[in-house]
Structures are given as structure tokens and as C-alpha cells.
Homo-oligomer: A and B are copies of this chain.
Amino acid sequence: MTSTFVGKPMPLLDGSVKVSGKLRFTADITLPGMLHARFLTSIYAHANIRGIDVSAAQALPGVEAVLTARDLPPIAPSSRVSLLLARDRVIFVGQPVVLVLATSEAIAEDALEHIIVDYDPLSAAITMDQALAPDAPLVWPTGIPTGTDDSSIHGASSGGAASTEQFTNIVRKFSRKRGSIEQGFGEADAIVERTFSTPVIHQSYLEPQSMLVQIDPVNDGVTVWSSTQGQFQVRQDVAELLHISEFDVRVVGMPVGGGFGGKIVLYEPLIALAARIVKRPVRLVLTRMEEMIAANPAPAARIWLRLGAKRDGTLTALHASITVDSGCYSSGLGGTISFLMGSMYRLPHFLMESTEVLTFKVSTSAYRAPGAPSGAFALESLVDELATTLNLDPLEMRLKNAVRTGDLRSDDKPWNNIGMVNVLEALQQHPAWRERETARAAGRGVGIAVAGWTGGVEPTAAACMVDREGLVNIHVGSADLSGTSTSFALMAAEVFGVSLEQIRIVSDDTASAPYAGVAGGSKTTFTVGPAVVQAAQEARKQLLEIAADVMEADSADLEIVDGKIQVRGAPSSSIPIAEIASKTFQWSSKYSPVIAHGRHADPETAPGFCAQLAEVEVDPDTGEVEVHRLVLAQDVGRAINPAAVEGQMLGGATQGLGWALYERIAYSDDGQVLSGSWMDYAVPHSTQAARKYETIIVEVPSNHGPFGARGVGEPPVIATAAAVANAIKDAVNARPVDLPMTAPVVLAAIQDGKNGK
């Protein structure tokens, strides 16, 4: 398709205000009478609370309220969002116990030191193994509370009604099966088997979680400003916990300084409850340490994997046991990991068992392609290992087994059209792969890996109005995390036939916005885009109908050229859009304002695959790894804005390097977080990023996305760690199986290799 805007690299519309520091975030908003919130959090992974003395804190000048669970309505802590403040018992280090509201952040901070919490420490299961031990202390001794009765709220620690049910720390078990793995492994000429582990990872967005809540004095409703990826989700959760209609909750989705899945909703309902109590606006901005200790990190996982193939490389069977350390609530990611692991290759036989284990740690949640990096690290490491064992080219072996359009996913549904083979082939053609012997000659290793991500879908809507000045206003309700608004502008300009300067993207809050769901699941362009296109097309039609009447022409004969409407091929007849539009705002006009909507719902996703090649150098004496080159080939369907797509690929892969080599929330034996700052938690520095990045945009058009576009954001983070692991193996013939592959881990692998392990 010939296009004027779609497919042309375009700087992000908000780029300039962002890099110049002009953009105002939630923490920049101050309201009259606003109070600052600060948490006193648990210092134990598990303890009963015998009492809390807040009197000294309460007496401090500037302290307006010191809230504990007793001040809050009785709400069952059925999820992290409804956990609010600890009631009688704490179950992870960093759990909010007391909320101080003061006239300044400093006063609130000072007040924390005047609060005395009388803890009765209890034994805690910090690791999965501890949690799975027969006599393990239980995170939820009578199950996760769901009701609203008192015993439910207090959990088992209060010794509520006796239950005959036997509870454990296993919150979810799930298995997927196809064929017979016995048969599959029986047909295999080679079988490899390993156990891999990936740690708890923080999304490390620059801007911490921030929110501000104001109570409406008229109707007891609330307005919430939040740095959220999903303003509609915030609205829903706040309404639910405040027991009011969603209509009475107005959420203003603020600019999001990085989210990556971790910023959907967390403390908004609690802050709303606090604001309701004090009847003043309340703002909470987490500190970096609170972020690292107790936000929404990705769960740790341990994956045992066994993989068999015939001599020619044809995979015959996969057997997996996946254990996910979910922290104190279910993350729901065990199923995701197994779904993806069983869906990447044509596998006649598989059995995958996943178990989510609760531990006395913070709850875990989504991080860019949730669960996928863990699974891909295991699977893609083992595929490589199998290729080595069979002495096959690992890329060829992947191509041989890669799923194609129509092949079955592990849920036995067919893949819709996908580009897994295409991204592998793109990598195969790349000099970095073709000339890998050169790198090897220089003492480096080259490794590849590939991964796919289905993406999510939610229904969406968008509106388009043409204003008095002829500007085409596109109204959306989505957070712009990755340049999606710029892509909407490109698409709208394309279908409307005007320049980008004539397009305005309006991000409405929940009171006015067309529904857009959450900005997550690599779906914003994919799902909101079609609604934008539809709204713009319909608005264009309305405008041309008015112009046709004004110009006494047939609207089918009209075209838009350079912001003017003209009879096709007759520029002399042209009338500026603004002139036509202004007629719809005049007294006694017969022309209605141009306003149209787009509505979109399509259960089909547009999966994106990304193949990656890492070229690394490993210091055999220290185990230190340096990434010289990182090549990404990703099928984006259609790059609406190639500049933004490339940005997503580079960012994703760099976060992938964090998974691979640096990042880990480390816990002490008693559940204390040892990496509570960016001094301790190693987000890759610019010097730790790859020395050279190369991006290959592959375009296998989706049948469902706008202009053929697919989800872009999540795929590039998934395979990086595996590619690096395979490159390390290629370099020093040693395979690290634990992330991050820090120098000690790699060195241990090297020594294990020497020891014949």
C-alpha cells in the first residue's frame, strides 16, 4: 500500500517536551490543602502485629493523620490492591502497615520514626523450597480471603472459624499435555535436560508510582491522577474498594515515566480511602527504595526442562516443570510460561506442569511480556544445547521446527499468520550470523535465540471531531507509553488525507474518554488504532458531505489535498478544511459538527516474533561478559512509525540485557531486600548496553492490525537472555543456567564445564 505518513519515521509528538523536562508528571501536581502520604512498612517477612502506637507521630506538627488498618473499612485482602494496610499480620518486608498524612513529605517521613509497631516475628518461607516444605508456614493459612466477614479480613492469624480444608502455599497448579512424552522421548535420538532459574526483576521505570486523589465534596466521588498504564482499571478498582459507582470515579491518566507492566494499579484505592477519611487531597509518590522493595516486580521462576529430537533436528518431545515464586499473591504467570514454551515449535508430544508458589515476599505482577523471558531463557538455551549435541546449525534447527501460520499453539488453537520463520531467516542473512566465524576467530561467541508473543486484546473506541480551525481531533483513552499517540496521528493523517500538523491527539480522562483498556499486552496501536482509523474515516466522510453541499458537487468527487477540499483534480475549486469546518459552528447553520466514533473488538491477536543474535566476549578468568553486538530481527507486521518501532526494539533488548547479565532483586534469608536502590540493583548503564545494536524490521502484515501492524513492545525483551547465554556457551563452552549471568555465575559454569558437568 502506498502511504504518505504510515511507515515514515517520525519523532514522537511529545518527544520535545519530554527531553526538555517540560512535561508535568503526577508528582508535579500540587492541590490546595494537599497532604503527602508516606508508609511505615513491615520490617519482617512474617509477623503478628500486637499493637501500634501512633500517638507520638500524631502529635507532631504538620501530621494530619496517622492511619492504620483499624481506620479503614473492613475489606477482604483478596488481592494486593485490596491488601491496603496490614491488619494484625504482615506477610512481606515492605508491606504498608501505617500511612502517615502530613503537610509535607519531610514531615511525613519524620513521623514514621515516632511510630512504634509491636511485632511478634514468625517464621517465614522466603524461597520456593521453603514454601513447599511440608511444615512450611503458610502465607494464607486459610486461603486467600475473599469474603468481607471479619474472620476473612483478619485472615487465619486471628484464628477465625476452623476450616476442614487443608491449605498449602501452592496457589495454582496447571498442566498442558499433548500426545505422549514417553513416545516422544522414545523417538528421540538425543535428549537434553536442565534446570534454569530466573530471579525477581523490577521494571525499573524512571518515574516511581505516583498518584493524587481528591474527594469531590459534592457527591463523595473521587478524582484520581495517576501515572497508570490503565486509567480504566484504576477507575474500576477504586470504585470497587470505595463501594461507589465507577461513574463517580474520575481517573486522569497522567504521563507515564515508564511502566513496562508494573504501573496499572497498586495503591490508588488505599490513597482514595485515605483522602476520603481526611477530606483533603492526598498525594503519594513512592521512593525508589519502596519501589525496589515492594512494588509489582516480575516473579522468579525455576524451570526444569527436558527436550528430545531426532538426528535431523526434528523435535519429538518436551517435558517441563515450571515453578513460579509468586510472592504473597498469585501472579498467574505459571500458565503463561508453559503456554509459550509449548507454542514456539512444532511439538508432537509435550507435558508441562506449572506450579505457582506463595512465599513471604512482595506480590508479583506483569513485566514486559510477562513470564516470557523466563520461559524463553530455558527453552532457547536447551534448543541450542540440543543442536550442539546433534551437531546441527542452531538456526537451521530452529527453522526446521519453528511454528508457521496454522500450526497449533500449545492450547491447540492454530497460530494466526505469524513471521517466526521470517525473523529467523532475516537473522540468517545478516552478516553477524553469516560471518560468525570471524567473531569466533576473535575469541568471541555468537548465540541466537527466538521468541514470540501473542499479545492481548481488549475492545476499544475512539472519536474524531473536526474543530473550528480545521484541526482533526482524535480522542483516545489510552496511555501513551511507547509513542502510540504519534502512531495514531500518522494513521489519522493517512486516512484523513491531511498533514500531521493538522492532527491533534486528545488523551481524555475516564470521564470523557472512549474506552481503550490498558496500555499493555503490546496492543495499543493494534487495538486502538483500528478505532482511530474508523473514526477518522467516518469524520472525513461527514466533512466531505458538507463540502459537497457547499461546493454543489458529489462528495465522491471530492479529495483532500494540502488541507483543502477540492473537486478531484481541480485545485482551482479548493476550499480550506477550516472554512468548511467553521460552517458547522455558525449560528443558523445547516451543517452539523463533524463528530464520529470508531469501535473495535477483535478477539484475534497479532503475534510478534523477534529473533536475536548476541556476540559476546567472556573473560574466562573472571566470567565477565561483554556484549559486542546485538542484532534483532522482529516481525512488526507493519511499522506505522519505524522510528518508534526501532526505539521499542532497542529498549526491549536493553532490558533483555538487564535480565541476561545484571538485574535481580536479591533477598536475604529472612526476606530482606538486599538490592533496594539503583546502587544495588543493576539496571544496565549505558556502558553495559551492547556496544552495537542492529535492528531488522520484518513486515509480515497482520490480517487484524491497522495497516497490517502487530504488537511491537514486548517481543524484543524475551529472547535476549537466551541469545546471550547461547553466545556465552559458544564463547567458552559453558552454559550458565541462572539469571542474571553475572561474572560469578558464568565463572561457575566455566568451572563446572571443566569439571565435566
A668: interface (CB < 8 Å): no
- Known A-B contacts A24-B218, A467-B246; the reply to A459 vs B601 at CB < 8 A is no
Instruction: Kindly state the separation between the CA atoms of A51 and B508 in the bound complex, as whole angstroms.
Output: 48
Residues from chain B with Cβ under 8 Å of A460 in the complex: 592-593
- Identify which of residues 582-609 in chain A touch chain B, using a CB-to-CB cut-off of 8 Å: 584-597, 599-603
- Known A-B contacts A218-B24, A247-B473; the reply to A236 vs B456 at CB < 8 A is no
- Identify which of residues 457-478 in chain A touch chain B, using a CB-to-CB cut-off of 8 Å: 457-461, 463, 465, 467-469, 471, 473, 475
Q: Tell me if B504 and A508 are in contact (CB < 8 A).
A: no
Chain A interfacial positions (CB closer than 8 Å to B):
17, 22-24, 30-32, 217-219, 232, 236, 245-247, 456-461, 463, 465, 467-469, 471, 473, 475, 504, 506, 508, 511-515, 517, 542, 584-597, 599-603
Residues from chain B with Cβ under 8 Å of A457 in the complex: 587-588
Instruction: Kindly state the separation between the CA atoms of A663 and B458 in the bound complex, as whole angstroms.
Output: 61
Q: Tell me if A471 and B601 are in contact (CB < 8 A).
A: no
Q: Tell me if B601 and A584 are in contact (CB < 8 A).
A: yes
Instruction: Kindly state the separation between the CA atoms of A463 and B508 in the bound complex, as whole angstroms.
Output: 14
Closest chain B residue to A219 by CB distance?
A: B17
Instruction: Kindly state the separation between the CA atoms of A587 and B236 in the bound complex, as whole angstroms.
Output: 14
Q: Tell me if B246 and A458 are in contact (CB < 8 A).
A: no
Q: Tell me if B32 and A586 are in contact (CB < 8 A).
A: no
Q: Tell me if B593 and A22 are in contact (CB < 8 A).
A: no
- Known A-B contacts A219-B17, A471-B247, A512-B475; the reply to A592 vs B587 at CB < 8 A is no
Instruction: Kindly state the separation between the CA atoms of A309 and B540 in the bound complex, as whole angstroms.
Output: 57
Residues from chain B with Cβ under 8 Å of A22 in the complex: 217-218
- Known A-B contacts A247-B469, A508-B511, A512-B512; the reply to A592 vs B600 at CB < 8 A is yes
Residues from chain B with Cβ under 8 Å of A471 in the complex: 245, 247
Instruction: Kindly state the separation between the CA atoms of A352 and B272 in the bound complex, as whole angstroms.
Output: 65
Q: Tell me if A586 and B458 are in contact (CB < 8 A).
A: yes
Distance between A233 CB and nearest chain B CB, rounded to angstroms: 10
Q: Tell me if A597 and B600 are in contact (CB < 8 A).
A: no
Q: Tell me if A461 and B592 are in contact (CB < 8 A).
A: yes
Distance between A124 CB and nearest chain B CB, rounded to angstroms: 34
Residues from chain B with Cβ under 8 Å of A232 in the complex: 585
A-B contact pairs, 29 of them (CB 8 A): A17-B218, A24-B218, A30-B32, A31-B32, A232-B585, A236-B468, A246-B468, A247-B467, A247-B471, A247-B504, A456-B587, A458-B586, A459-B584, A459-B586, A460-B593, A461-B592, A461-B593, A506-B512, A514-B593, A515-B584, A517-B585, A517-B587, A542-B599, A590-B601, A590-B603, A591-B601, A592-B599, A595-B597, A595-B599
Residues from chain B with Cβ under 8 Å of A593 in the complex: 459-461, 514-515, 599, 601
Residues from chain B with Cβ under 8 Å of A459 in the complex: 584-586, 589, 591-593
Closest chain B residue to A236 by CB distance?
A: B468
Instruction: Kindly state the separation between the CA atoms of A456 and B589 in the bound complex, as whole angstroms.
Output: 11
If A17-B218, A459-B593 are given as contacts, then 12 extra A-B residue pairs at C-beta distance below 8 Å, sorted by A number, are A24-B218, A31-B32, A458-B589, A459-B584, A459-B585, A506-B511, A506-B512, A511-B512, A589-B601, A590-B601, A592-B600, A595-B599
- Known A-B contacts A22-B218, A218-B24, A219-B17; the reply to A595 vs B245 at CB < 8 A is no
Q: Tell me if A602 and B590 are in contact (CB < 8 A).
A: yes
Closest chain B residue to A462 by CB distance?
A: B595
Instruction: Kindly state the separation between the CA atoms of A8 and B118 in the bound complex, as whole angstroms.
Output: 62
Distance between A244 CB and nearest chain B CB, rounded to angstroms: 11
Residues from chain B with Cβ under 8 Å of A590 in the complex: 601-603
Residues from chain B with Cβ under 8 Å of A584 in the complex: 459, 515, 601
Which are the 7 A-B pairs with shortest beta-carbon distances? A592-B599, A512-B512, A592-B601, A515-B593, A30-B32, A461-B593, A461-B595
Closest chain B residue to A594 by CB distance?
A: B599
Residues from chain B with Cβ under 8 Å of A511 in the complex: 506, 508, 512
Distance between A509 CB and nearest chain B CB, rounded to angstroms: 8
Residues from chain B with Cβ under 8 Å of A602 in the complex: 590
Instruction: Kindly state the separation between the CA atoms of A602 and B587 in the bound complex, as whole angstroms.
Output: 10
